[in-house]
Amino acid sequence: MKLSPPIRPSETLPATGVEEQRLPPRVAQKGRRQRSLLPKTAMGWYLLLVLLPTLLVGTYYVTYAADLYESESRLLVRGRGASGGNAAGGIMAAVTGGGGRGGMDEARAVAAYIDSLDALAGLRQSLDLVAIWRRPEADLVSRLRSEDPAAERLLRYYRGRVTVNYDIETNITTLRVLAYRPGDAKDIAEALIALSENLVNRFSARTAADTIRVAREEVDIAERRVLAAREALNTFREREQALDPTRTAGAAVENVSRLEGLLTQARAELQEKRAFMRPDNPQIQVLNNRIAALIAQIGAERARSTRGEEGLTQQLSGYERLQLEREFAEKQLTSAISSLENARADAQRQAVFLMRVVEPNLPERALYPKARFNTLTVFAGLTILFGIGWLMVAGAREHAS
């Protein structure tokens, strides 16, 4: 068997007739240099992707990162009713569940307020937060970058420097403030606590005002009812021209009864004297005149008691109805006044106030940044990510082979 001679680089391929292209020496050497810059082993990649970033982060924290001072304070929001003044009150509060929530809602509201744009706006009225977080000792990475930041951007930076945590078990709110100077951290904490106290005081004032307002409206309604009842009674008296129609009617009935008794007596005497006297006797005439006078007097008294179209019964009924309405209105007014006094007492019991369990401290040593902890965290995280990535690459190579 005859072997074909080897094909030289300058010769054309027998099948295609295409001459092999050879790269210039400089281009081939440059490609080899670029490929040689990348690590070829796992240790090389580990040094590049893990140890080098960790070294940069550690260098930043040790040599360049600015110190941050933390001022911490603890607050307690509670109500007067939650103090448990006596055993009976404490047992009743435990049974009804009214004493266990004293100040809990307000404490949550305070925590939400401190973390809000309203608290930031209130702080800026008394403190120059931009200048505080742009101190000369602040580094370029952690400082507030803009001299005139938008409210939303400043709020985002504020939330990174001010943290508030509420413990539902102890009802204690913990406030932590970070700044580049100890005095700045304490001033911000003091200002936030003052704003929180004003907020709690507004809560108490609003609760008391709402509670008393409802009771005061009931008192006003009762007062108007009493005035209307008295006005109606006065109008009735003026129309009937009687201060107390009940007494007037009683006196009229008594007077008519007395006159009727005298009339009966006169008629009996007349009947007796007619039995033995002549009709033209003067005594008979006197008795007839007396009887006629009594009859006229009785008619006049009855006419006065029943003047107009209203009879005595209707007059008494109307007067008694007005009198009963006035009594009910006065009782309602008395009850409303008592409810108002109770509402004021309840408003005082429902009042909440903010207690400073721990005053804002003036820090003496910078607690942040935690250089060792942060460097170790970056190292551990990059190591884990590198291990996962290297296992994926190794698996892909094995699957490809």
- pLDDT score of 72 more than 80: yes
- pLDDT score of 360 more than 60: yes
Percent of the chain with pLDDT over 70: 79
CA angle 198, 202, 203 (to 5 degrees): 120
The pLDDT assigned to 275 comes to 77
Q: Same structural domain for residues 260 and 323? A: yes
Measured on CA atoms in the order 54, 57, 63, 69, is the torsion positive or negative?
negative
- pLDDT score of 134 more than 50: yes
Query: What mean pLDDT is reported for the chain?
Result: 79
Domain extent for 273: 227-348
If one counts the domains in the chain, the total is: 2
The pLDDT assigned to 203 comes to 86
- pLDDT score of 19 more than 50: no
- Decide if 31 is inside a domain: no
Measure CA of the first residue to CA of the last residue in the chain; give whole Å. 37
Q: Which residue has the higher pLDDT, 348 or 245?
A: 348
Closest CA to 387 of 375, 379, 398: 379
- Report residue 335 as tokens: 């009850």
- pLDDT score of 177 more than 90: yes
Q: Same structural domain for residues 113 and 238? A: no
**CB burial class (10 A; 0-12, 13-18, 19+) of residue 260?**
middle
Q: Which residue has the higher pLDDT, 274 or 179?
A: 179
CB 291 within 8 Å of CB 259: no
Name the amino acid, one letter, at 218: E
Q: What is the CATH number of the domain that holds 122?
A: 3.30.1890.10
Q: How far apart are CA 223 and CA 304, in angstroms?
A: 36
Q: Which residue has the higher pLDDT, 250 or 23?
A: 250
The pLDDT assigned to 164 comes to 95
Q: How far apart are CA 50 and CA 234, in angstroms?
A: 99
- Decide if 2 is inside a domain: no
Q: Same structural domain for residues 313 and 326? A: yes
- Looking at the chain, the number of H-run helices and the number of E-run strands are 13, 4
- Decide if 389 is inside a domain: no
The pLDDT assigned to 125 comes to 93
- Report pLDDT digits (tens) over 380-394: 999 999 889 888 888
Q: Same structural domain for residues 211 and 355? A: yes
- Decide if 235 is inside a domain: yes
For residue 369, say if its preceding peptide bond is cis, omega within 30 degrees of 0: yes
- Decide if 36 is inside a domain: no
- pLDDT score of 194 more than 50: yes
Closest CA to 185 of 176, 193, 196, 177: 177
- pLDDT score of 286 more than 50: yes
Among 13-22, 110-119, 162-171, name the one with the lowest average pLDDT: 13-22
- Decide if 61 is inside a domain: no
- Decide if 204 is inside a domain: yes
Q: Tell me phi and psi for residue 353, to 5 degrees.
A: -145, 155
- pLDDT score of 92 more than 80: no
Q: Same structural domain for residues 204 and 87? A: yes
**Mean pLDDT, residues 362-370:** 85
Q: How far apart are CA 78 and CA 80, in angstroms?
A: 7
- Report pLDDT digits (tens) over 178-188: 999 999 999 99
Q: Same structural domain for residues 189 and 206? A: yes
Q: How far apart are CA 30 and CA 33, in angstroms?
A: 5
**Mean pLDDT, residues 359-365:** 90
Q: How far apart are CA 298 and CA 35, in angstroms?
A: 141
- pLDDT score of 343 more than 70: yes
Q: Same structural domain for residues 171 and 182? A: yes
Q: Same structural domain for residues 246 and 336? A: yes
CB 78 within 8 Å of CB 353: yes
- Report residue 35 as tokens: 């490929």
Q: Same structural domain for residues 273 and 185? A: no
**Mean pLDDT, residues 119-139:** 92
In eight-state DSSP terms, residue 11 is S
- Taking CA atoms, 67 is separated from 83, 125, 179, 183, 356, in Å, by 42, 26, 8, 14, 27
- Report pLDDT digits (tens) over 113-123: 999 999 999 99
Q: Same structural domain for residues 192 and 243? A: no
Q: Which residue has the higher pLDDT, 256 or 340?
A: 340
The pLDDT assigned to 308 comes to 47
The pLDDT assigned to 182 comes to 93
Q: Same structural domain for residues 83 and 191? A: yes
CA angle 253, 259, 261 (to 5 degrees): 105
- Decide if 213 is inside a domain: yes
Q: Same structural domain for residues 363 and 287? A: no
Cα-trace Rg, the chain = 52
Measured on CA atoms in the order 106, 112, 114, 120, is the torsion positive or negative?
negative
Percent of the chain with pLDDT over 90: 26
